[in-house]
Structure formats: C-alpha cells, structure tokens
Copies of this chain bind each other. A is one copy, B any other.
Amino acid sequence: MHFKEALPLQSGACIRAYDLSYETYGVLNVDKSNAVLICHALNASHHVAGVYLDESGQVKAKSEGWWDTMIGPGKSVDTDRFFVIGVNNLGSCFGSTGPMQVNPETLEIYGGDFPVVTVEDWVDAQARLLDALGIQTLAAVMGGSLGGMQALAWTLRYPDRVRHAVVVASAPNLNAENIAFNEVARRAITTDPDFHSGHFYKHGVLPKRGLRIARMIGHITYLSDDVMNEKFGRQLQAPAFVAGQAAFPFKYSTQDVEFQIESYLRYQGDKFSEYFDANTYLLITRALDYFDPASAYGGNLSLALAKASAKFLLVSFSTDWRFSPARSREIVKALLDNQRDVSYAEIDAPHGHDAFLLEDARYLGVVRSYFNSKVAV
C-alpha cells in the first residue's frame, strides 16, 4: 500500500512517501472487530502465515510464513475467526520502503541515508495502514521479541485502538549486554571495507563479511547453552581420525572447520549475508536499542504503562537469556501495579530465545486458550 502523506519520525526527520508490504489471512467481519495485527522481529516480514504458490499452483519451497505454526485456520490464532494482518516494517528489506529503495527527494538509493526509525515510528506507520483498511480497533496486537515491543508500544501510543496485546519473549528495553551484542554486530558491518558508509549499492559490492559476523553473533544469542550442547556439543565436523594412529582426531588448523557448531554458524552467516540488507540490520538493531517506554518516566515502568488499557498476555521461555523471563516479569509487575488484566506464562523450553518461533505444544496451547477464552470478536 502506498502512503502519500509524509510520516513524521521520532528523530524529527520524516519519510516523504512510502510503501508498506502487508498480507492478510481470514476475513474481516462486518463490525471490523476481529483484526489481529502481527508485528515482526529482526529477520522477518509481512509473510506471517501460509505458503506461496507458483504459477501452476504448486507450493513454493521454503515459502512458509514465519509464524505459520501459530497462525492459520484452526491454529492458535485461528484465521477462521480472526482477520490477521502481517506488515513489513519501514526500513526493512522485504518489500516496504527501506534503504535499498530510491529516495524520492534525491532520486538516489537511500543506503546509509535512510532515516533512523524507532519502534514508535513503526507503530505509527502500522496505524496508518489500519486507517486505510478501515480498522479502528484491533482485537489484538501480537509479536515476539522486537515484535513484542511493538505490541507493547501499540498499547501506549494508541490505547483506545487495542483490546488485547500478546507480548512474547520480549522485554521493556534492552539491557547493557543486549546493546553490547548489537553494537559488535553493527561494528562488524560498518567496519567492513565494502560498507562504504552504507552506500555500497552504488559501489556494486555488499558488506557480506560484516553481515556474516553479525548473524553468527546473533545466532549464538538466540540459542540456549543447553540446546547448543545437545545439538552440537563438541562434535567434530569431519574427524581426521585414522584408526590406531591419532589420539586427537583434529586437523590442527585455526581456519578450517573442526567442530559442527563452527560449520553451523558459518552456514547461517553465509546464508544470511546473501539476502539480508546491511543497512536494514543497522536500523533494526538501533530500533531495539532505543526502545524504552520507561525512559520518559525516570525509568519507572509502572508509570509508563499507566496509559495502557488493553488486556495482556505475556509469554517467556525459561532458557531465553537474550530476553529472560525476568524481563517479561518486569512488564507483568508494571501492569499489575496499574491493576491491568494480565495473563502470564513462563514456558519451560530448552531452545532459548528461538523458542518463540518453534512448535511447542504448551506455548501454542497457552496462546490458543487466550484467544479462545478472552479475545471476543
């Protein structure tokens, strides 16, 4: 959808004219009371559920929506009942206006000049999309990780337009360690000689080295220690062991892959660097850094959340060390301080932060129960 009216940003800048890519699932009811907005995290898009078909009607390979386990006909967020909207955020590289596109003011590719966007800016852009779709009030807004921050921001910025907020594996802000990991990833990208201050497109290169490192770091923080040990442990990629000859089956190289975890991380880094935009990576990690609704209230989250009138479901995962359960409980406490209606589930799952994207019966069951029993249409 194209938006002609400029969007003013938190930074004071604005985006002149822009497009938002979105997908919808299910049918908007006559009252327009069954809309559920899904907000995405770092590496995702408007393609939330379902699969894409090619010209001959065949399912395209790897075209599953990123939350397809959660959303669809008969699923936890049931598209037979709800009208679900997935929207790609501004600054992304998956369809909505972002740094890879042409700046209508200069007629050059934005690159490093794309304005810094915040969680609140994204929420404002999403609200305009709802305006255009004729939806005044959301039955629910929902997201995981950075998407959860957007859901929380919705309840503060447009309290009258949200009846329920589902905030999964999220936090009221990043702590120092979270910012630190983001910063290392950004430095890997911006110090890559192919970055050219974000204007690499016109140099015909991509800062893939930096993106690879950024993704490898990210991946470590998405997984738990436990699941890494279980999945990879100290298993070798291709043991150089010759029976009866070597006590230690290593290649004795600092640069070759020895352990499976190394191979896995390199593969993830390589794959990511082929499709993800470096400027988008910088923008999205910065939006994460900046998000902090309590900051305007001297750090008092309870005061900050007084504005929210929605009902809440919060979900966290026991082994998530990126956004630990303690961070979700901060939000729960602040909402309870305001006598808000809050449900909270702490899922005992081994997969770390990634758990919010995975199939887990208890997790999917909690969300299903919440939507079935609490979210009226």
Contact = CB atoms under 8 A, between A and B. Distances in A.
Interface of A: 10-13, 115-116, 118, 173-177, 179-181, 183-184, 186-188, 190-193, 197, 209, 212-213, 216-217, 219-220, 223, 225, 228-229, 231-234, 247-248, 250, 252-255, 258-259, 261-262, 265-266, 269, 279, 282-283, 285-286, 289-290, 292, 295-296
A53 B66 CA distance: 63
B176 A116 contact: no
B184 A229 contact: no
A174 B252 contact: no
Contacts of A115: 252
Q: So how many copies of this chain end up in the complex? A: 2
Contact of A234 (B191, B225, B247, B292): B292
Nearest to A215: B184
B116 A262 contact: no
A192 B188 CA distance: 10
A123 to B, nearest CB: 15
Given A248-B295, A253-B116, A177 B225 contact: yes
A265 B232 contact: no
Nearest to A190: B255
A13 B228 CA distance: 32
A175 B290 contact: no
B233 A175 contact: yes
Contact of A176 (B217, B229, B250): B229
Given A184-B265, A191-B213, 14 more contacts: A115-B252, A175-B229, A175-B233, A176-B231, A176-B232, A176-B259, A180-B219, A180-B261, A183-B261, A184-B220, A186-B255, A187-B269, A213-B213, A255-B282
22 contacts: A12-B252, A13-B252, A115-B252, A116-B253, A116-B254, A174-B234, A175-B228, A175-B229, A176-B261, A177-B223, A179-B262, A184-B216, A186-B255, A191-B212, A192-B209, A193-B193, A248-B290, A250-B290, A254-B279, A254-B282, A254-B286, A259-B289
